[in-house]
Amino acid sequence: MLKKSLENVLSPEESGELISAFDQIGDIIIVRIPDSLLPKKGVIGKTLLEEVKVARSVFYQASAVEGDFRTRNLEVLAGEDNTETEYREFGCRFTVDVENAFFSPRLSTERERIANLVQDGEVVTNMFAGVGMFSIMAAKKKRCTVYSLDINPVASRLCEKNIKQNKMKGSVISINGDAAKIVEERLQDRSDRTLMLLPERSDEFLESAISATKDGGMIHYYSHIHAERKADAGKLSERRYLQATPVKSEILGSKIVRAVGPRYYQTVVDVKISK
């Protein structure tokens, strides 16, 4: 779609350099532009704003998601310089800030999968919850209690707002702070299911996840894995988990969540632990 929108702006060679996929989140577009095309970023932004009728803003992603708060730098190319928008997914309504709080539209399939796995009556700890999407989607479907943790105060504020604007069967409790400290002080052995949605630092927080989880409970362990063959990524992530865990674990399954680079994948391993 991006290349088609710009076919009258860029040469075929330039179009070939342009990353074809972009993120449309509510009425915001976020585009990644190779260095060779940065001199044309203004016309790229203007063209996208004209072609995508529902868009009010086009941003260039000027940095990767980074830091403890998982934020990124965005540069407005066209339209309003406002990074907050409304996003809808599977019957839920979310206010998100695409620059100042972690959010990815590319995790929608995984959010639905986890929501379907959660059972009525479960206690769930979502250790790196962002604006609360995994938490709220689970509580919308099931009569569960979800502790939704994030160290970023903007993310926690938006999570609280999103809790109020969605009708749920269960309940979500937003807690702002360091996940490891919150688990140690308040949530030890509370969870039937624990989500570790920080793939780049999963091993660092694994003991905290285990501490939060009851004997016989489930952990969803996300990680980033390099694999020469895509088919090997799941098994490689299972091996990584088993090397890192200090407790007896039964592997229930593993899968690729999404590609994050050439031969580089975000994966999830679903495990049942025995303390």
Res. 16 pLDDT band, cuts 50 70 90? confident
Residue 112 has pLDDT above 70, yes or no: yes
Residue 177 has pLDDT above 90, yes or no: yes
End residue of a domain, out of 15, 50, 82? 82
Average pLDDT of the residues in 56-70: 95
- Give percent of the chain with pLDDT exceeding 70: 98
Q: Are strands 145-150 and 123-126 parallel, antiparallel or unpaired?
A: parallel
129-152: per-residue pLDDT in tens?
999 999 999 999 999 999 999 999
Residue 169 has pLDDT above 80, yes or no: yes
Residue 36 lies in a domain: yes
Residue 6 has pLDDT above 80, yes or no: no
Residue 69 has pLDDT above 90, yes or no: yes
Indicate whether 228 and 270 sit together in one domain.
yes
DSSP 8-state symbol, 230: G
Indicate whether 75 and 111 sit together in one domain.
no
Predicted TM-score (pTM) of this structure: 0.93
Q: What is the DSSP string of 62-114?
A: -S-SBTTTTB--EEEEEE----EEEEEETTEEEEEETTTS---GGGHHHHHHH
Average pLDDT of the residues in 61-82: 96
Task: Tell me the β-bridge partners of 266.
Answer: 224, 258
Indicate whether 121 and 184 sit together in one domain.
yes
Residue 95 lies in a domain: no
Average pLDDT of the residues in 42-52: 91
Residue 19 has pLDDT above 80, yes or no: no
Indicate whether 108 and 200 sit together in one domain.
yes
Residue 98 lies in a domain: no
Indicate whether 118 and 18 sit together in one domain.
no
Output the six-digit token pair for 232.
């090997």
218-258: per-residue pLDDT in tens?
999 999 999 999 999 999 999 999 999 999 999 999 999 99
Indicate whether 77 and 185 sit together in one domain.
no
Average pLDDT of the residues in 196-223: 97
> Taking a C-beta distance cutoff of 8 angstroms, is the pair 97, 84 a contact?
yes
Indicate whether 115 and 216 sit together in one domain.
yes
Residue 30 lies in a domain: yes
Q: Which element (helix H / strand E) includes 157?
A: helix 153-164
pLDDT of residue 8: 77
Domain that holds residue 24: 2-82
Residue 30 has pLDDT above 70, yes or no: yes
Res. 20 pLDDT band, cuts 50 70 90? low
> Taking a C-beta distance cutoff of 8 angstroms, is the pair 267, 225 a contact?
yes
Res. 178 pLDDT band, cuts 50 70 90? very high
Residue 173 lies in a domain: yes
End residue of a domain, out of 82, 115, 141? 82
Indicate whether 108 and 60 sit together in one domain.
no
- Mean pLDDT (the chain) is 95
Average pLDDT of the residues in 5-32: 82
Res. 1 pLDDT band, cuts 50 70 90? low
Indicate whether 51 and 122 sit together in one domain.
no
The total number of structural domains in the chain stands at 2
CATH number at residue 137: 3.40.50.150
Q: Which residues of 57-82 are buried (b: 16+ CB within 10 A; e: fewer)?
A: bbbbbeeeeeeeebbbebeebbbeee
Indicate whether 10 and 126 sit together in one domain.
no
Residue 18 lies in a domain: yes
pLDDT of residue 2: 65
Indicate whether 120 and 249 sit together in one domain.
yes
pLDDT of residue 21: 65
Indicate whether 59 and 179 sit together in one domain.
no
The CA–CA distances, whole Å, from 249 to 109, 194, 245 equal 25, 14, 8
pLDDT of residue 15: 77
Residue 18 has pLDDT above 80, yes or no: no
Can you say how many angstroms the Cα of residue 77 is from the centroid of all Cα atoms in its chain? 24
CATH number at residue 48: 3.30.300.110
End residue of a domain, out of 47, 82, 117? 82
Residue 210 lies in a domain: yes
Residue 86 has pLDDT above 90, yes or no: yes
Residue 202 lies in a domain: yes
